[in-house]
Amino acid sequence: MPQREDSYDFPSWSHLGEPEATTDNYRAYLLKADECVIGYVAAHDTNEHRRWDLNDESPHGDEDDTLRPRIILIWVADVYRHRGIGATLVGALATDFGCKVADVSWSTPVSAAGQRLARRLSPDGIWVS
């Protein structure tokens, strides 16, 4: 759905068959309502980040090598947007990893919708990788 709806040019999930461990803990979180997936986040763990204040003109900060969960893609079905679904998914990722929401890293580029969500969750800036 994210690829079709938002015209992404890459698949966000390529693992088929039985679940298997990956070196970077690649995983997905799905949120269902009425037997339909209404939200999805794909993530993995990495230790290459920079701080960004979410201002388009600002450069990214110094490198940080703390192991953090990194959002590869986050998607919420159009009719469920602006209801806290994205925040719930990011919160689940942070909780599962054992960190605060503000410590989650976001893959770049961060879409306009992703920036709005990131600003709401972490108004002082985010980690990007």
Query: Is residue 120 pLDDT above 80, yes or no?
Result: yes
Least confident of 5-14, 62-71, 75-84: 5-14
Q: Does the pLDDT value for residue 6 go beyond 70?
A: no
Whether 2 shows a pLDDT value over 60: the answer reads no
d(CA 54, CA 35) in angstroms, rounded, equals 35
pLDDT value of position 71? 97
Tokens of 17: 């068959």
Q: Per the confidence metrics, is the pTM higher than 0.75?
A: yes
> 11 Cβ partners below 8 Å, 6+ apart?
3
**56: three-class secondary structure by DSSP:** coil
Sheet holding 126-128, edge to edge: 27-33, 36-46, 68-76, 105-106, 126-128, 49-52, 63-64
